[in-house]
Structure 1
Amino acid sequence: MDKKYSLLMSLFNEFNANELHIIICSVFVDEITQSLLERQVNIANIFFFHTAKNLVVPATDYVCETIDDDEILYAVYDLKRSIATFDATNFAVLAEARRIELGLKYLHFIVIPKEGPKNTISIMSMHEPDDLQWRINHILLPLFSCIPSCKGISSLVTREQARPLENSQYHIFPDEFTLQSPAMPMGFPELIAAKNEGKSLAHIQAPRNALNLVDSFLSSYAKDKKVITITFREYNSHQQRNSNANEWRHFLESLSDEYLPIIIRDTYKATSPICDELAGYLQFPMASIDLTVRVALYQRAFLNFSIPTGPAYLFYFIPNCSNIVFREFNNAHFATSETTVSKGGYFKDEQPEFRQNSKQIVFWGQENLANIHQSFLIFLKECEND
């Protein structure tokens, strides 16, 4: 390459470069472009053959942006205290709010494992190792990628790999980060504190490619219809908290052709047949498996229905997302007890303080046909008043 390149440069010197259009056909596009710029060639005159597009394109359209460390907020999600669930939504939106407050350009999320060195003990108290890794890959990483300013996500193998972040000159979130004393999980108090300071929390947005996939799907199935999603809970554990398929069947049968219902199933059930009651309705398995696609569908939908599930928590942090979530206290299970639910910011017969607008509705009552109809009418009334 060196001999050919030297010959090229010697020939190049015989011409007035700025009177030429230079087309680079080489894997060394960066190096050749840099050499041309050093010879005072205007970058507007430089083109290259884009192998993926099979086209000659202008270099100016493909210049990578430069990034400096002092423009980045490093957001550290420590699995020693936090868990690999949709609770990470709080961390993600608060990290973005902090980035905006500091006037920085980018976020770099760093996931630190729970396991310590050999002379320490760590207990897998929430998830089995395989399930934990799945959740990191399919919940945490795509969730963090739905923050538009995110420029990188690092999932570390050991805790010691995060040691350089301690007492460094980097911008770190949370501010008090140390490996020895990880910050407690962020939740309702931190959200309300940020909102009371005038900070926006609506920072979850699907990446462009995910939106393109959803738009392609909807162009084939929805056309001019208004999309209504139903996020379905169908876990093997705590089955008393699952969605009521029969009630939803009756509601969907009553919908006019103005609407297109789409069922988003639980991730672990997405590849198996759905129950007979809902077998005739449209599903979108990709949205069950790929979180970025799920977010894109929530963004595009006219309305999103759900009972309390992890993914349904995203509704409140997606700009202009409309939703109805059915809630009720049930002290027979800790997850639905009044004490637990209230800690999350949900208080009986009230709307959550962190919601964005009046079209994000918590309907206090059972997930039954009468309540589904009533909540839908309330939502349509809000649309009229909007």
Structure 2
Amino acid sequence: MNSDQFLKDVQGKNVNFLIGSGASFGVIPTLWIKSLNKSFEELLTSNDYDKKQKKVLFFIWFELWIRKTKILEFDSEDETHIQYERFVNNLINFLNNEGFDKPKRINIFTSNYDTLFEMIFDKVSKDNRLTYFNDGSRGFFKKYISTENYHLKVSHSGMSDSFQREIPTINLLKIHGSVTWSNNHGLIEVSLENKIFEKLSELSNEIIEDIHLFNDFTDDKLIEPSEYEDAILNKQLNEENLKQELTTIYAECTDKIDSFFEYYETLPVVNPTKQKFKDTVFQQHYYQLLRMLSFELEKPDSVLIVFGFSFADEHILEIVRRSIVNPKLKIYVIAFDNNAKSDIEKRLGNLGGNIIEYLPSKKMPDGSEIKGNFSYLNYLFDGREEENN
């Protein structure tokens, strides 16, 4: 499918995105551990690791993934940052080209808890003053999130006339939580100066310092935390060595690991263990966002564009599967490659009819795969005639 045809198919529709960790790849690693041929999720849910070892795994999880999700500055040399900016600008152009009788709103449902979208919204808003970027929060010195804040239609009228024009609105709905959230007396507060994140970073630094000290005084070296991404995710590391690593770290840093884990359990994010929020406030918000996703997919002429999402979340998977009752729904799944497509097809099953379409749908002239990467997603909204990856 070329870009022009795709745009014709989705224009005038209720457009929703479901975006997962694949979108942030390049800035934040995937959960796949090449050296063990399994995901980090499998480690955290495996019965082969005891409670002490799993506490250390959460410390490593924080260092490898969580700590990297607080992104405040745009990096003009980073390809992922560039694609995020291109994507948001494409959505703005798409909405601006919609007629006044068509919806000028797009919903981005994401399982990511990084701040890439917020950082890009902040960057592009200076040149797009008549676009409303909505993360569901309201406030000035203190900002609080509520699902009620998503049901808004924002209009603009000129100084010399009374005609109101709906301006483009991009809603960001972070289903799995965010590193900028905290529970403030029963309300979800949004702040870049997140005390939970800062405390976890402080405790993590203390554990790292203890690992440094251990390595200074022993011949049996532990992996340096700064090398976790390369050593754990990419290099050859068998599970016995990893288990010994975890056991040694816990023995050397018992009190600090226990304190870290106790504090980590208050961080408002859905972990790879698939266990949902322990905090009732965040749990309620999670289910409210799921209901919103379900409601959007039930609307007439709805479109769901899935990118970088594996459907590992059973609740989201079930909502999408149930959405087949809407004959006016169209789902586009952008799969990175054939293996990813096969995995998603197994999870979704046969939804029947033409409700779902997998993209890219063809190969390059030389027979090689067209990768369903961020560049391809942006190509679909660029309006160009030829696919360019």
Q: Scaled by the length of structure 2, what TM-score is found?
A: 0.29
**TM (normalized to structure 1)?**
0.30
Relative contact order, higher structure (CA 8 A, sep 6+): 2
Larger radius of gyration: 1
